[in-house]
Structure 1
Amino acid sequence: MSPAEAELAEELAVVRPALLPGYRAELAGARAAVLTRLWRALVHEPLPWITGRVRGAYGVALRLADGRTLHGPHVDPYATGAPVTAVRLDRERHDDPARLTNALAVPHAAGFAVELGHSAASLALSRAGADHRREWPVGVPPAEGWGKDWEWEQRVADGHPFHPNCRSRPGFSAADQLAYGPEHRPVVELGTVAVPAAECLVRGDWPAELRAPGRVLVPVHPWQAAHVLKRSADPWRRAHPLMSLRTLALPGGPHVKTALSARLTSSVRDISAYSVEMSAALTSLAVDLAKRTDGLLHVTRTLGAVTAHSPDLAALLRESPQVYAGPGERVLPVAALPATGLPGSGDWLTTFTRLALTAGLRLLDLGVALEAHGQNLLVVLAADGSPRRLVYRDLADVRVSPARLARHGVAVPALTGRLVTDDPGVLRRKLFGSLVAGALAATAGSGPALGAAMRAALPDLPRTPDLAALCEGPVPAKALTLMRLSPDTPGDQWTALPNPLVLEPGAVDQ
């Protein structure tokens, strides 16, 4: 076991000994899953210390700046299966992603290796405690338990499909993961912290139950209260954690996005005052624009947002996506679709791809580029599992083009800062990087399947300059490993993946 794996095992032996055998059994597969994501990044991201990539009959060789060579299998950049169990650094075999990263000895590798060790250990624990049922319950009404906000979200055990830090939760003990990780299906006791109203920024309709005379009650995650705020919170409501862990569903009510000042995958999940400030105007714009998609897309409204002028003490209340489900329908995050078995049909995948690209391209042409990855994008499914409509949630990282809005006669809202850009490259990277290289790729499971679905959907897509750009060039994707190895470089960094529309078998490593 690695140090991270051994530490988690020791904790688990105390807090949940019955889960220990399953955890140990999952370790090798978890290491391979993280190594698979890391190897994909090494092959496809513009890492400055990789000076050459050579594809051969038996795999890929990566030449390093120090003269060494990494050898591993061919990589389909859109694949989510076919785990990589080992690679070679010169003649040394590596099956542990953390030890491989340490052996590379490149700038910032040591810190990243620690994160990868935590990712593999946490992933093994997630898989050991996961609900492994993988079927779509045709004919089972939502009232019987399949339509709850959190039901399918909690089946996503593996986290981000392409990030090596897919399950990295530094600062979370085994007890914390069991208490708060959605894949373990806990019920979380949310609390509130009372803040003088004069010291708060509030946007939207903040409910009466979260107000007191002269004070605003800010919902607080219990991990945040204990580890960051280091104070007790007053009991408030019981809630079920969703895929993002820090967002929870109140039974029969809205979703609560809490500040969680821990690095999950790439980012520290606090809530900036900027996000709170922009929330109401952004919600109004996005909801209005979604009405122009002929019913293909709904956007969940941010009902209210508050911050005590600290990213560590803030919260948003957001409409549940379930309000957009009709009789007999269910709303599932796209990231949960592989667990249903539905994407296995080519016709199903084409229908879904057509729906997602049409909605995304229409909104992009109107002036909003969605961050439409599998966690933010949800699909409304009929009782037979066929995709009907889409729901989008969490507007915190979209991009808005005033010029495009004005071209369509849409009043430009009072938005400022990083959300606003007219740069078509930035707008397209935002949508295509999240939707094509993210949600659609993970749903299709491979480049050939994704390419086939996109080609079949192509005749029905909106004929816009953005579609032409998608068809003609490589697909942008966040360079997630480069970003973790470049902690001094702010903002997103990008790579270019071969276009699945023209991807040929055997040409996936360039």
Structure 2
Amino acid sequence: MHRVTVRPPSADAYAAAPLLNCLLREVARPMPEPGVHRLPSGRLLRVRGERRPTEPELVGGPGVESAGGSRPDRPAGPASDPAPAHPLDHPALVRLVAEELRLHTGLDNPGLPAEMLDSREVVAAVLAARVDAAAPEDPYRRSEQCLVTGHPYHPAPKARGGGPAAAWLPYAPEAYAAFPLTLLGVREDLVVEEGDVSALDALGEAPPGYRLLPAHPWQLGLLGETETLRRAFDEKRLIRLGTTTPDAWPTAAIRTVYSPARDLFLKFSLDVRITNDIRRLWAHDLRKLRRTDEAAARALPGVWLSDRGYRTAAFAFEELAVLVRDGFGGLGATPLLAAGLTEGFDGSPLAATPDPGGWWTAYLRAVVPPALTAFAEGVVLEAHAQNTLIAVDSDGTPVRALYRDAEGVKLLTDVDRPAGWERLVYTLVVNHLAETAAALAEHHPGFAPWPAVREEFARHDLPEARALLSAPTLPGKTNLLLRWTGADGADARYLPLPNPLASP
């Protein structure tokens, strides 16, 4: 019997998919021919695939060579072929995107194309590392460390600041990393902390007059021999105390690690731009942490993973900050990262379920009510797929959602209600449920996921939820334009997308 060999996606394919998603959503117009889109320049771009488009090619028209370099060496098509295709590799796609954005916005941004190229190089390094690495046995860890594509609507979701792979690969979740944390001692009179951080003192032993402060080794490497740290070490305000045992492993968030032995999450500063922001624990976020976390915990009992406190050094407040997050306690079920379900990993119940309708209904019953209840109580979750965990039973059926990350939470006392609702709809429906629904339909052809979503929202006596069922559009965040125009990472901008929740 002839066996068909399915080749795994290449680094180009992984890197092209989210970039194409951004380009097609934000600046292109679909044409009648399936997969063909008109760009601002008038050029026609054809892609294959819908959820993760790939194989981009320019179809006829002027200006093909300017984006893709010289025409590929390929046989000429039949004389009657009106639209010869010119495939674009990843560098050519990046050049094309930059040209189209200059036309569309009138602005230039030479830094973003470099990030796009870096994102592709990160994917290539990760794929090479995974060849010889064994996938984790723990399904929760597999779900956190499977995101080779990453954010499906970001132009450079895997960029790591342009540094050499040797600097970041030992700490990359996508490469199944696990590593010890560096233990520092901070002189007691220079410790700044708030909330319950007692778990940090169990990581090791500090000498008299010092308090323990774990540090991410990549962050210490990035800080290097800065004058602040060098003087702190020289003056014994900061000392090295070895490393933790056993290892912790990085979650999908990269700078957040999980210690299974202690059932503890720790979140660090990381002076690298990842997606839209430099991932530092900023002072203004830390200072409002307790208020935000306490509000989320009140609104989401049993569903919220509390960011219970932070500790840092007064002389390096943001650089050395560490945030302590609750573990799972006696969950009695297997947590899985929602974003991992859409990306796909070995053993994913989304793909394996024999009953996609029942599985999806259980998923929605776990995810939607807490987010809407929290909103009704004045708490706006950042309910995107990377901040949501789904606990499943032994059959893989969802039984509970867990939400995390107080840094992304907004309170309706601080933002107006329409803006808060727009943010929740984007993170919960567009970023999260739409992606999960598309993945489920892809794995179970013929399954229609949106009627169940409409039914779930209709169950809730919330004016905004009822209005959503007749709204013509949903807000889609414009990450490509946001980055190209140099907007602040937290300054979300949206464009209208067709609303699949709307009544037929």
Structure 1: give runs of 5+ residues left out of the alignment: 1-24, 136-143, 292-296, 403-419, 505-510
1: CA distance, partners of 2:467 / 2:10: 38
Residues 249-282 of structure 1 show CA distances to partners (whole Å, capped at 9, x for unaligned) of: 1232211101111011221111012222222232
Question: Does residue 1:262 correspond to 2:268, yes or no?
Answer: no
Query: How many Å separate the matches in 2 of 1:350 and 1:82?
Result: 28
Partner of 1:86: 57
> Residue 270 of structure 1: SS of its match in structure 2?
coil
Deviations 1:346-394 (A, max 9, x none): 3312331243122211111111111111211101100000000111111
Match of 1:113? 113
In structure 2, the partner of 1:70 is: 43
Which of residues 307, 313, 322 in structure 1 aligns to 2:312? 307
Matched, 1:244 2:244: no
* TM-score under structure 2 length normalisation: 0.77
CA distance 1:213–1:281, change in 2 (3 Å) = farther
CA contact (8 A) 1:450 1:500 kept: no
Task: Measure the CA separation in 2 of the matches of 1:432 and 1:375.
Answer: 15
Query: CA deviation digits over 1:32-84, x for unaligned, max 9?
Result: 33333223222322xxxx5x7353234444352xxx223224799xx533434
Task: Indicate the SS of the match to 2:21.
Answer: helix
> Which of residues 463, 468, 473 is equivalent to 2:466?
468
- CA distance 1:308–1:84, change in 2 (3 Å): farther
Task: State the partner residue of 1:433.
Answer: 426
Match of 1:412 in 2: none
CA contact (8 A) 2:393 2:399 kept: yes
Deviation of the 1:214 alpha carbon: 4.4
Tell me what 2:31 maps to.
Answer: 55
- Determine the structure 1 residue equivalent to 2:20: 39
How much does 1:182 deviate?
Answer: 1.0
| 8 Å contact from structure 1 (residues 374, 438) kept in 2 | yes
| Rg (Cα) greater in structure | 2
Q: Higher relative CO (CA 8 A, sep ≥ 6), structure 1 or 2?
A: 1
What RMSD in Å do the two structures reach over aligned CA positions? 3.2
- Seen in structure 2, the aligned counterparts of structure 1 residues 118 and 427 have a Cα distance that, compared at 3 Å, is same
Match among 202, 218, 228 for residue 223 of structure 1: 218
Give the C-alpha shift of residue 209 in structure 1.
4.2
Counterpart of 1:101?
97
Report if the CA contact (8 A) 1:33-1:84 is conserved: no
Matched letter for residue 427 of structure 2: S
Aligned to 2:175: 184
Q: Distance in 2 between matches of 1:488 and 1:358?
A: 33
Cα 1:350–1:29 change in 2 (3 A) is farther
Give me the whole-angstrom Cα distance separating, in 2, the residues matched to 1:266 and 1:350: 33
Query: Is the aligned partner of 1:146 residue 2:134?
Result: no
**Mapping 1:266-281, distance limit 5 Å:** 266-281=276-291
TM-score (structure 1 length as normaliser): 0.76
Say if 1:126 and 1:158, in contact at 8 Å, map to a contact too: no
For 1:331, the equivalent position in structure 2 comes to 335
Residues 1:194 and 2:203 aligned together: no
Label 1:396 to 1:59 Cα distance change in 2 as closer, same or farther (>3 A).
same
**8 Å Cα contact 2:335-2:391 kept in structure 1:** yes
Distance 2:89 2:19 in 1: 11
Q: Does structure 2 retain, via aligned residues, the 8 Å contact 1:239–1:251? A: yes
Question: Structure 2: where are the runs of 5+ without partners?
Answer: 1-6, 65-85, 234-239, 442-446
Please state if 1:316 is matched with 2:323: yes
Deviation at 1:179, TM superposition (A): 0.5
Q: 1:477 is paired with a residue of what secondary structure?
A: strand
